[in-house]
Amino acid sequence: DIQMTQSPSSLSASVGDRVTITCRASQSISRYLNWYQQKVGKAPKLLIYAASSLQSGVPSRFSGSGSGTDFTLTISSLQPEDFATYYCQQSDSIPSVTFGGGTKVEIK
């Protein structure tokens, strides 16, 4: 099974900050990596697919990079509506998938 490890598990940041979240796979997954945003009490929402492709309608301040085992999600200028929990998810072994443990972005 492919394991996904996110870091940090939580972070505190201010509006306007640049935020970076990392996700590491236990084996190479090429670029089969997605990022989701989940707000409290809501279902997750797709932000980035295939490591760096922005889902339609997602603001351009979100970006993704990486390949193989190491990936990052970057928010270039944190906005109030971006405070949420972010999850990575590998799609290398579809239809079996795995989620990372999540990163909670909180207000400093």
Partner 1 sequence: QLQLQESGPGLVKPSETLSLTCTVSGGSISSSSYYWGWIRQPPGKGLEWIGSIYYSGSTYYNPSLKSRVTISVDTSKNQFSLRLNSAADTAVYYCASFFFGPGRRYYFDSWGQGTLVTVSS
| Residues of this chain that bind partner 1 (CB under 8 A) | 1, 30-32, 34, 36, 38, 42-46, 49-51, 53, 87, 89, 91, 94-102
Q: Which is nearer to partner 1, 13 or 46 (CB)?
A: 46
Q: Which is nearer to partner 1, 17 or 58 (CB)?
A: 58
Q: Quick one: how far is CA 38 from the chain centroid?
A: 10
Cross-strand bridge partners of residue 36: 46, 87
- Secondary structure (DSSP) of the chain: ---EEEE-SEEEE-TT--EEEEEEESS--TT-EEEEEE-TTS--EEEEETTTEEPTT--TTEEEEEETTEEEEEESS--GGG-SEEEEEE-TTTTS-EE---EEEEE-
Q: Which is nearer to partner 1, 17 or 55 (CB)?
A: 55
Q: Measured from the CB of residue 66, what is the shortest distance to partner 1 in angstroms?
A: 13
Q: Measured from the CB of residue 30, what is the shortest distance to partner 1 in angstroms?
A: 8
Q: Which is nearer to partner 1, 3 or 77 (CB)?
A: 3
Q: Measured from the CB of residue 108, what is the shortest distance to partner 1 in angstroms?
A: 21
